[in-house]
Every structure is written in C-alpha cells, then in structure tokens.
Structure 1
Amino acid sequence: MGLSPWFVFLCSVLVQVSSILADTDSGDTSGLTGIAANWDKNTPSNWNGNDPCGGKWIGIMCTGNRVISIRLSSLGLSGTLSGDIQSLSELTYLYENYSINSSAYTHLELCSLAFLCRILVGCSFSGEIPPELGQLSQLRFLSLNSNKFSGSIPASLGNLSNLYWFDLADNKLTGTLPVFDGTNPGLDNLTSTKHFHFGVNQLSGPIPSQIFSSNMKLIHLLLDNNNFSGSIPPTLGLLNTLEVLRFDNNPQLSGPVPSNINNLTKLAELHLQNSKLTGPLPDLTGMSALSFVDMSNNSFNASNVPSWFTTLPSLTSLFLENLHISGQLPQALFSLPAVQTLRLRGNRFNGTLTIGSDFSTQLDLIDLQDNQISSLTVGASQYSKTLILVGNPICVPGSNEKYCMAPGQSNLTPYSTARNCSVLPPQCLSNQLLSPTCICAVPYRGTLFFRSPSFSDLNSASNFVPLEQDMKTKFAKLKVPVDSINIHDPFFNANSNLQLSLELFPSGKVQFTAQDISDIGFMLSNQTYKPPSMYGPYYFIGQQYTFADDVIGQSKSKSTNRLPLIIGASAGGAVLALAVVALVIFIARRKRTPKRTEDRSQSFVSWDMKSTSASTIPQLRGARTFTFDELRKITNNFSEANDIGNGGYGKVYRGTLPSGQLVAVKRSEQGSLQGSLEFRTEIELLSRVHHKNVVSLVGFCLDQEEQILVYEYVPNGTLKESLTGKSGVRLDWRRRLRVVLGAAKGIAYLHELADPPIVHRDIKSSNVLLDERLSAKVSDFGLSKPLGEDGRGQVTTQVKGTMGYLDPEYYMTQQLTEKSDVYSFGVLMLEVVTARKPLERGRYIVREVKAAVDRSKDMYGLHELIDPVLGAAPTAMAGLEQFVDLALRCVEEAGADRPSMGEVVSEIERMVKMAGGTGPDSASNSMSYASRTPRHPYGGDSPFDYSGGGMPSTRVEPK
C-alpha cells in the first residue's frame, strides 16, 4: 500500500523545516558527528540533533553557522581524531586534551584546514611532527609540548611566518635546529615569533649562528635540557627584546659566553647552569632587569668578585655554585631590595663576611658552604634567616654556631592558599573539597608548570598571592564561574620548572558544567590567560573532571536507536504535529517581538524588588531611567566616532543630552545577564552619594536587553593615564598633591558621611578621574560594600579588589573595614610619587619604598624611586617626606595602625599649604596639556568590570 500524497507532503515539509532550523552548516555537523563516532567513550551529553551551533554543543564555538573552535578539556574522552575533521573548513582553534591515537591524525587531514590559526595539543601524540604543518600559513600558535614526538624538527616549519608561539618542549625530538640552507627554510625565517620553547628534548649539534638576528622579536628562548654542543653564538647579543634565556643542562655546551651578552638589557631570567662553559665569568653590567641568575657548575676561569654583583636592582635569586670565584663579598649584595636567595657555595670567597644591619627583609637564604670565610660581622639587627657557613675556616671543629651546623631539611612548608572560615567549616561529601572560601564543591584540578619564574622562595605568600588574584581577575572578566582558587605544594622539578597544584572551585553551584570545564581548559592552555611576568612562560595539564549527573553520558547505542523511534512516531501520525511545532519554533526564533524585551525589563524589576530587605532595594534618588532609543540617539547610534573607551564589559560612548550636557554612556555587551550584581550595586550606591570628588551617575537603562550606565563626562582621563603619560596631561608635584587630596576627600565622604558608610574596595589610580579643572573624582563602585547601619565594625565578605592595591589583612581574614580602602589609598600615594605600577615583575612598590627609605637623608634618599618628571630638587617637592610618612602609615599591616581617611585629608591639606597651593582646585601654572582625544576613563582596567558572556570567539592577541 503506497503512502498518501498528504503524508509525503508533510514529510517533505518536515525535512525542509528541519534544514532551515539547523543553523549549523551541514558539512560541519556531519564532520562533528563523524569525529564523535571514533571516540571510545561516550560523547558530551548534548551532542545530538543536527545543530551544533544553535544547540550550543559542549566545547563547540561558532561564528554564524560555521564551527570555528573545538575545545574539549578534561572530559574523559578517548579514541582517534578521524579524517572527518577536514569537513570543518572554517576551524581556527583545535584544542584537545584527551587520550588520542595519532595514527588516524594524518598529515593531509591537518593540512586541509587552510585557515587553522591555532593548534593546542596536550595529548599523547607519538611519531614524527608532520612536515605538512608548514603549509598552514596562518598558524599563530603551534603548541605540541608534553607529548611523545620523536625525530627532527621539520625545516618546513620555517614557512610559518605568522607564528607567535612555538612550543615543542617536553618531547623526544632529536637532530639539529634547522636553518635556511639555500633551498629549504629554517627557524631563522621566523623573525616575528616571540616564543621558542624547545626545552626537555634530545636536540643536538651546534646552535647555528644564523638562527639569531637583530630583526627578530624573540622574548623567550628556551633550549634547556638538550644535548647541544659547541659554543653559544655571538649573534645571541642581537636579540635585544629577549626577556628569558635558558641554555641550562646542556652537558656538551662549551666555550665562552659571548661578551656582548650585556646588550640584553631587557633580560629578566638567565639560566646557564650545568654545562661546560669556559672563559671569563660573563659580565652582566647594565642588565638592570635581571631578577634570576644561575650560572652554577661550569668551567669559567677563576675570577675575583665581579663588580656587577651589587648593580642588579631587580635581583631576587643569584646561584653561582662551584665557579672558583674569590675575594670578599660586598656588604651591598645583601641589601639589594628584592633579593631572596644567594647560593654561592663551592667558591673561594674569603675574609670577613659583613651582612650589615640594612639587609633585605626578603633575604631568606645565604648559602656559602665550602668557601674560605674566616670571620663574620652580622650587624645590629642580627640576620635571623638561614645562613650556612659549613666548610669555611670560621667553623672550627666543635663549633656550636647555628651557621656551622650541616643544613637539615627545611621545616618550612611550601605555600598553600589560606582558608578562612568565620564559622565551623561544613563536612563535605566524599567527592567534594572545602574551598578557600569554606564552601563544599567539586573542584577542577590540574598542574601549572612555570618554566622560568623570577623568584626562588616557595614559602612566601608574596610570590603566590599575586597569581591567585590575577587568575580570579581574568576569570571574572571572561565570565568564567570560578569562586575561589587554591594553589598548593609548589616545587622545582628535575627540569628546574616550577610546578604548582591548582584547584578551581565553582561559583554559585556545587560543580562545574562540561562547558565550564571546556572554557577553563581552553583559557589556561591557549595562553588566553597571561600570568604576571614574574612567573614567566607556563603550560597547564588538566585532570579529568568527574561529573555527578552523567554530563558526558549519552551512549552511542541510544543514539543509534533514535531512527526507529522517529519512523514509528511518523507512522503513528505525529509528523503533522511535529511539523507544526517546528514551524512555530522557526517563527519564534526568527521573529523577535517586543514581549521579549518587556519580559527582560520585568525580570529586572522583580529582581530588584523581590527581597523583603530594604537594603536590597535600589535607592534611585537623582538618577533617571533612559530608554534604549534615547541613548541610541544621543550617541548617534553608538557610532565609532563616539567610541571613547573599552572595558571587559563592552564599550563607552560619548553622548550629548538634549540639555547640552556631555555624558559617558557605559554599555555592557548586548544580551548578557552577567555582571548584574555590579551593575545594580553601582546604580544603588551612586544614586545616593553626592560629592564633588565622587563621579555622578546621571542615569541607567534596562531597556531592550541592555544594561547601560550613564555618567557625567569627565574629560581628562584617569590619574593612571596621567602618571604614565598616556593621557597627555602632565602633573607637577603641587597638582599631584591636589589630586590626591581630592580623591581622599571623596573616599572620606564615603566612609564618614554617606548613610550607611561605604567601603569602595577598589581604590586605584585608574579609578580616579580628572575633570576639566583636573579635580579628582572617585569612580567605579561595582565592588563597593555598605558597612551597615551602625557604620562601623567589619563585614565578612568574599575578597575582591585589584592585585597590588589589595589590603593583606582583608585578604587573609576576609574581614572588610574602611581601613582596607586606607591601605589601597596608601599604595596609590606611593604610585603618585614614583609613577610605577604597584606590582610589576615581582617588585612591590610598598616593599621597595620601605626598603629604600632613609630618614637621615634629604627626600628620604628616594631619588632613584621618585618619578623623574617631578625633578630631583627638594624645593620642588615640598612636603615629600611628610607625604611618604603618611603613605607608609596607610599601608601598615594591621588596619588598627592605619589612620582614618578623615585624618588623611587633614594631613594632606597641610602638605598642600607647604607646597604653596592656594585657592580652589585648579590647574597649576606649571601644568601642561597636550592636544589629544583622550581614551575615556570609564573604559578602565578594573578586574571585575562585567563583560560579554562566554569565552571569546575571536582570536585574543597576545601581548
């Protein structure tokens, strides 16, 4: 019996409608389905249907209807990567972190992806690297590290002229480094590449001199733990952009170090240990950026103490063991401001060891075993850290001096993130752990490997807290739901890499989703996340994540059984209903009605008002509500000409109200519900605080799925931009005092006159704006916190803020008081004096100033730290000493020892009078303006600005 024409018609309609509804290119869908068919384990739970893009398949990112990214991390997948991948012709990111059989990963399949920009593989590949990779002309990242590749580096990779990141480390590669031979390309062609990571292989032969040239942009050159022979080529000195250099653990590397190595003035880490280098000890004079130096266990000529010992202001770690250096150690070596570790055993240092009383507070270890030191002068304050003099004449037999005892195992435990619970911590289930914020959850675990950190002390929180804070900042900007981070058990492994155990805890839920894990793994593995420079280059290996509810649990057998069900349903007459439903869905997806906007607006109203607590209801005095059409009109449809800034949340536009008032329109990325708490907080607080030194909120918009804030327009940018010279505004000393005074008054108002009092929580130079008269205005209240009706005491809250400005007492206790703002303000004051970032390359401005202050000298001996723009004459900086004293009181470790902001205001007012300031806040005569179109301050760099949802789908350019 034949099918009726009506039934055939409905089936054809169903097929056509299904095809229309499937937003994803059919070739891409087929390719992904074919790839999944070759996995041994179950596919991600929502990999079904025929619309990966519209269905938001786990790990799949799209632009339009084309798949551009596959990100599968720690999901427990295994099997082969089949030839179906060549169907994905628009694929630009390929990141797999699962067990994969590379035998099916053929050369031609990879090379058919003509537009592939990044390959990030952390799997178990073996065999040789396909030379056809050299055909991927758009390749930007090539990361094949931590696999089992063997054979030589293909010369064809020299064709990858767009390569930025080149990582072949931790494999079994052999042979020489390929260079252009007249016919075949080589690595010397990669002049734009910034990272050569070839360490921990079996590469051999001489390092070719032509591989380096003055037009190369290399910043990381890692050739450690190989079998290179011959000498280091003198062309190395041409790499004036180099920041990290590792030639260590090449036992056949010999000859002298090139004499022009001190041309590398940007070099921060130098590793030459455990080779056979000869000739004179390298002269490091002028290399002021050096923080880590290790040249131990080489065959350099015997020499006296080099003069450069005391001229490296950034030095944290100096390792010079078994090098036959003689002479008396200079006292100044121990007072270098950042020094942490001195390992100088097995030399011929002699005479009296004088440490002095002004040794660095960071200096934890002085190892001088097996030298010729005959006496010791420590100094008045008695160095109490680890000093080892075993094997020196000063340690006569039977000596019971502590420094003459054989060093035992350190009783210091490596750093671990502090956990502070205000109440008795809960009992967690067997698959959960207690987070640093005392919440039971299932963490995502993995290991971070840092290949060249600039520090050596593994016990100090100051070496790891910046990493925790920086990671939280990046996760917040990218909308990754991470509540807290636990770092523990750091150690240096056999390859001299710093290895950290990492645990990430989810925010607002007990465990991450598969999409969360995909995003986090991708972010940590494709260098989207860049740690502070003090940690150097890194890579990440994630562990498999176990999902409680079978998130990865859709079996193939169930998938294969869907066809009979569909046929049976069709035979039962459900085709008509399905077609109707499909058409309705089609219409709903293609037609956006006003009701959706209305529902969105309604949701904000109910969200704002549903709490019974009066403190949760926004107080909107003075702030008006704008419609989206109004804001579109005043910004000329958000035109590029009015684009004056960018932030993690979106863009800022200049606008002009009908009254003629200029405003700054801060528009979060459309369609995102993220950042609602910060958005609401800023509306609620700014609408009820009014002070000339606090930025004014004009209004806000919740119309048409938008979150927009409208501020007064502040034309002269941020204090940070003025200090760095980016804004074109130059501030002399008197003007800086007035700006600091204005900011202090704004904060004092928040603490002492607002009702209830408010703690800002993110005081920093980029949140202090300068108006047309260069008066200061405190801005960005997204992290602010009311102190409560009594206005005093403390609030237990999750730690938020910006690394470098963050109050350490608040960080350790999670107890927030107004004194946390005082600490941040003290850091800002030091920034105003020095024009230096609070935390940069491991140097903390608070620590540097404390170490450098000498109150017996004019200007407290801070000439080297003071911003050169201010000049060095004491008469030009009247009140400087009092200013520094006040700043150091503000950054006392204990909040109780810090002044109130009211006291700060009073003292700065006296300093303004000392500096000759009179009259209202106005521009100093010695102040100059540059003609410019400033980037607007509301585009700032707050680590907790809310941004568009999800991970970026376009390439993130590395710095």
Structure 2
Amino acid sequence: MSAKLLFYGIILSTLYFKYMLYAEAQTTDPSEVSALGAIKSNLIDPLGHLDNWNDGDPCISNWTGVICHNSTLDNEYLHVLELQLLRMNLSGTLSPELGALSRMEILDFMWNNISGSIPTEVGNITSLRLLLLNGNKLSGSLPETIGYLPNLDRIQIDQNFISGEIPRSFANLNKTKHFHMNNNSISGQIPAELAILPNLVHFLLDNNNLTGHLPPEFSRLPNLLILQLDNNNFNGTSIPASYTNMSKLLKLSLRNCSLQGPIPDFSTIPGLGYLDLSWNKLNGTIPTNRLSGNITTIDLSHNHLSGSIPLNFSGLPNLQRLLLENNSLSGSVPSTIWRNINLTGNRSLILDFQFNNLTNISDTLRPPANVTILLHGNPVCNENQLQIGQFCQLQSIPFNESSTVALSCNSCPENYEYNPSADIPCFCAIPFHVEYRLKSPGFSNFQPYYVDFEVYLTNGLVLSINQLHIDSVVREEGPRFRMQLTLFPDRITIFNTSEVLRIRSMFTGWLIPDSDIFGPYELLNFNMGYYGYGIS
C-alpha cells in the first residue's frame, strides 16, 4: 500500500512540477513588465486606477487597462496586446519605455491630462495599429519615427498642443486610413508626399496653423472620403481645380482658410454630400452644374461671390442647408429650391440669403412650414416689405441642436434602468453608458437620420435595435454631434461580463464599420457602471 502511495505521490509531484513550469512559461515578458513599471512611474494617478500594477504578473493578474495576447507568440512569454487607459484622470508624461511593448497593437491614453511630448520610441512598436492620444495636453512636434510604423491604421492626436510640421516620413504609412490631428498647433505646409498614401480615408487637420497652399496632388488619393481643413491659413491660394477629380470624396470642408479665386465645379464628384467653403475670399460666380443628389449642406457664405443664385440648387433631394449670406449676389430670390426635396417628418431646409444684393422675387414665396428663408439685408426687402416681411427679419441660424427623451415609468431597483427602446413596456435592466461623438458627419441636422443611426450602430455592434437608447444629442462646433448612449441587455435584465467587454472592444478597437453619412466617431467615455470600471 505504501508503495502505491509512493508511486502516486511521484506522479502527482511530476504533474505539479510540469504545471509549475507551464505556469511560469505563461508569465509576461520581463522586459515588458519592466516597461510597464516605468510607464506607471511617469504617470500621476490621483484616483488610484493603476494601484494593481504592483500586484503579481500583468497578464495573469489582469492589471487595469493591460490586455495581453491569448497565447505566447514565441513559446516563452505572454506579451501586451493593448494598453487601454481611456479617461482615467491620468497626468504626468508618456515614458520612452512604451517602445519596449514591441508586440502591442493598441495604445490608448485618450481623454486624460498627460503633458510632455510623444516619445520617439513609439516608432519601435512596429505592430501598432491604433495610436490614440487625443484629448490630452501633449506638446512638441510629431516624431519622425511614427512614419515608420508599417501596420498603423489610425493616428489620433487631436485636441492637444502638438506643434511643428507634419513629418514627411508619414508618406510611408501605406496602411494608415485615418489622420485625425485637428485642434492642435501644427504648422507649415501639408507635405505633397502624402498624396501617395493608398488607403487614406479621413484627413482631419482643422483648427491648426497650417500655411502654404492646398496640395493639388491630393486629387490622386484613391480612397479619400473626408478632407477637413477648416481654420487654417492658406493665405492667397486657390482651391486646386484638380480637387474636382476626387471621385470618392464625401465631404470637403475648407471653412476660414483665407482662400481666394473661383469655386471649382464640384458637380463631377458623384457622391459629394457636404461642401463648406465659407469665410474665405472666393470670388466669381457660383458654378451652374447640379451637385450630387447626396448633398445635404452647401455653405458658401461670407465670401466675395457675385452673379445670380443659379437654378441648379433646385431639386436636390437631401438638401438641409443652403447658406449664401454675406456675398454680393444679385438678381432674383429663387422660389423653387424646396421643390422635389424630401421634407417629410422632421426634415427641414434652411435657405440663408441675407446680406446680398437680391432685388426681386422670381415667383410668389410660399414655402412649406419646415422651410426657413432668410432675406434680411437685401434690397428686395425694402421694396416688397408687405409681401415678404416675414422673411426679412434679422435672424441667426440656431446652432444648438439637442434631443432628450423623458421617461414616464415607475422607478427601477438600484443599478437598474428603464429601457425606453424595449418591446416590453417599462422593462428594467442593468445597462452601461457610452459617451460618443460624430466627428465629421455628412449633414447639418441630425434629426432626419435618427433611426438610420440606430440601425447603423446596432448593426455595427451586432445588437438588436431595442438594446440602444439615445439619451441626448447635442450639436457642437464643427459641426459635430455629441451623444449620450445607453446600451441594454436583450430581453434579460443583466449583461454577462464577456458581452460588455466585447462591446467595449468594438468601440475601442474601431471595429464598427465606417459610414459614409455618419463619418468617423470619437469614443469620449465608456462607463461600465455596475459591471466595473475599466478592463479586467
């Protein structure tokens, strides 16, 4: 009997020894553990989100925000896959040791208070797909080394204090689709070399200090959908005629860029949905060929345009805003623009012709109730005050758009909320909340796209439509649309944790497919509430 016990003891000891060897092999790469320690030491963490970075192994002990590869990549150690530190009230600086996380794919420090510069060592993370540093206090110039990240899909450094020029090395970013670098202090000229980027889709550099001229070579970008450069200073230059060859362009926004010269004929762009050339010094007449039937917004206001308002603005089925105020337009006030436009439901149309030289009316002005015509500051108002007085009052276009829904059911238990979208009346469940922003939408008014957005987002997240409730929508400068979203479990009262983490990874990994009309999005906050703070 003792011999058998001895035998089984040897077997168990051997298995335990093998298990310990296996467990030891599954620990995190020591160099990455050391790098995480250095990263933490450079950060100020007043709320203690990273306190567990001192406990055990990063990958085995689930350090906050540290997500690892599911298996070893080199048959020895586990490696950091993602660093997800969204909105944790962190300050301090970014450590150069970030470059030691050489297998990382997502680097996310969005919406913190981090200062200092972007370390050049970030260029060592050749596996990096998403560089997400927006919404901080970063300064200094963009490292040249970022231009040598062969797998980079998205660079988001917007809403910082980055200065200096765009490195020409960025012309090497053959896989990069999204350049989101708006609201910084980036200066100099846009490198013409970027025109060779085969996959560039969104190029957002509005609200910077760019100068020089608009590179005509950008017309060669085969997949460009959004070009947004508002509030820069391309002083005295014109819009390149070659931009009319951007066959896939959906949105062109060049507001307040000190541009002059004529407006090119953009009717050759088949899907153009949004055109903003306002607050420039453009002159000449407005092109008379009809723009794309997708167009929702045409803003040519605050320029030096002359001639008459052409008839080609009539019959554009999706038009929401035609803004021509503060020019030198003359002739008749058109009375047919709203015909053949879809104005059902909550759709509306604003026609702003204020402060021009319009002298007469082509026909009786009898627009539908949801069409707003603004004529103040035109001679026609002096001569036809009795007939058109209601259109001649000085008005401004309302900027803020918000939407909220009041709840009328009895209160739910603690941590539960009533789901207004549920097909079961007054059904209570435990949700979580997402703060979300449409960053460069293809429209000026969200309301007509409310249901379309619900379908788009729930399809992208692989959820049913009754799992989403839009708590509020607020129009912000840009225009951008900031939303408060609530996501509910489907016909049950609680999510399992894996489903919450799956949905979060869809947002944080930018795995929701892009939309032509809704454009790129920003994740502002992901509040897991009852399900716990952060990734574990």
TM-score, length basis structure 2 = 0.81
Equivalent of 1:407 in 389, 395, 398: 395
8 Å CA contact retained: 1:521, 1:542: no
Q: Which amino acid aligns with 1:366?
A: L
Q: Trace 1:934-945 onto structure 2 (pairs within 5 A).
A: none
Give the helix-richer structure, 1 or 2. 1
Note closer, same or farther for the CA distance 1:56–1:193 as it changes in structure 2 (3 Å cut). Answer: closer
Rounded Cα–Cα distance in structure 1 between residues aligned with 2:409 and 2:20: 54
2:96 maps to 1:107: yes
Q: Trace 1:562-573 onto structure 2 (pairs within 5 A).
A: none
| Corresponding position of 1:526 | 509
Equivalent of 1:440 in 428, 433, 444: 428
Q: Trace 1:18-167 onto structure 2 (pairs within 5 A).
A: 19=20, 22=23, 25-27=26-28, 31=33, 41=48, 65-66=71-72, 90-99=79-88, 101=90, 103=92, 105-108=94-97, 110-124=98-112, 125-167=114-156
Rounded Cα–Cα distance in structure 2 between residues aligned with 1:209 and 1:238: 11
Matched position secondary structure for 2:86? strand
8 Å CA contact retained: 1:340, 1:365: yes
Rounded Cα–Cα distance in structure 2 between residues aligned with 1:469 and 1:317: 23
How far did 1:393 drift?
1.8
| Corresponding position of 1:818 | none
Percent identity, aligned pairs only, is 26
Equivalent of 2:166 in 153, 158, 177: 177
8 Å CA contact retained: 2:202, 2:227: yes
Note closer, same or farther for the CA distance 1:24–1:96 as it changes in structure 2 (3 Å cut). Answer: farther
Q: Which amino acid aligns with 1:343?
A: L
| Corresponding position of 2:468 | 485
Note closer, same or farther for the CA distance 1:317–1:64 as it changes in structure 2 (3 Å cut). Answer: closer
Q: Which amino acid aligns with 1:150?
A: S
Q: Which amino acid aligns with 2:411?
A: Q
* Bigger Rg over Cα: 1
How far did 1:487 drift?
2.0
Rounded Cα–Cα distance in structure 2 between residues aligned with 1:42 and 1:226: 33
| Corresponding position of 2:373 | 387
Rounded Cα–Cα distance in structure 2 between residues aligned with 1:247 and 1:240: 19
Equivalent of 1:396 in 377, 382, 389: 382
Rounded Cα–Cα distance in structure 1 between residues aligned with 2:526 and 2:288: 48
Rounded Cα–Cα distance in structure 2 between residues aligned with 1:284 and 1:476: 37
| Corresponding position of 1:585 | none
| Alignment deviations for residues 185-224 of structure 1 (CA, whole Å, 9 cap, x no partner) | x1122233222221110011222333323x6331211111
| Alignment deviations for residues 835-877 of structure 1 (CA, whole Å, 9 cap, x no partner) | xxxxxxxxxxxxxxxxxxxxxxxxxxxxxxxxxxxxxxxxxxx
- What is the number of residues matched between the two proteins? 507
Note closer, same or farther for the CA distance 1:431–1:390 as it changes in structure 2 (3 Å cut). Answer: farther
Q: Which amino acid aligns with 1:371?
A: N
Equivalent of 2:462 in 455, 476, 497: 476
Rounded Cα–Cα distance in structure 2 between residues aligned with 1:104 and 1:292: 39
Rounded Cα–Cα distance in structure 2 between residues aligned with 1:104 and 1:323: 44
8 Å CA contact retained: 2:354, 2:377: yes
| Corresponding position of 2:333 | 353
Note closer, same or farther for the CA distance 1:118–1:545 as it changes in structure 2 (3 Å cut). Answer: closer
Note closer, same or farther for the CA distance 1:235–1:498 as it changes in structure 2 (3 Å cut). Answer: same
Rounded Cα–Cα distance in structure 1 between residues aligned with 2:261 and 2:58: 66
Matched position secondary structure for 1:342? strand
| Corresponding position of 1:262 | 244
Rounded Cα–Cα distance in structure 2 between residues aligned with 1:494 and 1:364: 20
How far did 1:90 drift?
2.6
Matched position secondary structure for 1:218? coil
Note closer, same or farther for the CA distance 1:230–1:48 as it changes in structure 2 (3 Å cut). Answer: closer
| Corresponding position of 2:3 | none
Equivalent of 2:179 in 183, 196, 203: 196
| Alignment deviations for residues 140-185 of structure 1 (CA, whole Å, 9 cap, x no partner) | 2222222221100011111113322222212110011112xxxxxx
| Corresponding position of 2:485 | 502
8 Å CA contact retained: 1:227, 1:252: no
8 Å CA contact retained: 1:28, 1:66: no
8 Å CA contact retained: 1:414, 1:459: no
5+ residue gaps, structure 1: 1-5, 69-86, 180-185, 554-950, 952-959
TM-score, length basis structure 1 = 0.48
How far did 1:288 drift?
1.8
8 Å CA contact retained: 1:121, 1:144: yes
2:318 maps to 1:334: no
| Corresponding position of 1:234 | 216
How far did 1:430 drift?
6.5
Rounded Cα–Cα distance in structure 2 between residues aligned with 1:59 and 1:9: 41
| Alignment deviations for residues 329-376 of structure 1 (CA, whole Å, 9 cap, x no partner) | 233413112211111111222222233373412451111111222333
- Where relative contact order (Cα < 8 A, 6+ residues apart) is larger, the structure is 1
Note closer, same or farther for the CA distance 1:102–1:116 as it changes in structure 2 (3 Å cut). Answer: farther
How far did 1:228 drift?
0.8
Matched position secondary structure for 1:533? coil
| Alignment deviations for residues 66-113 of structure 1 (CA, whole Å, 9 cap, x no partner) | 499xxxxxxxxxxxxxxxxxx9753233322242656575213x2222
Note closer, same or farther for the CA distance 1:17–1:504 as it changes in structure 2 (3 Å cut). Answer: same
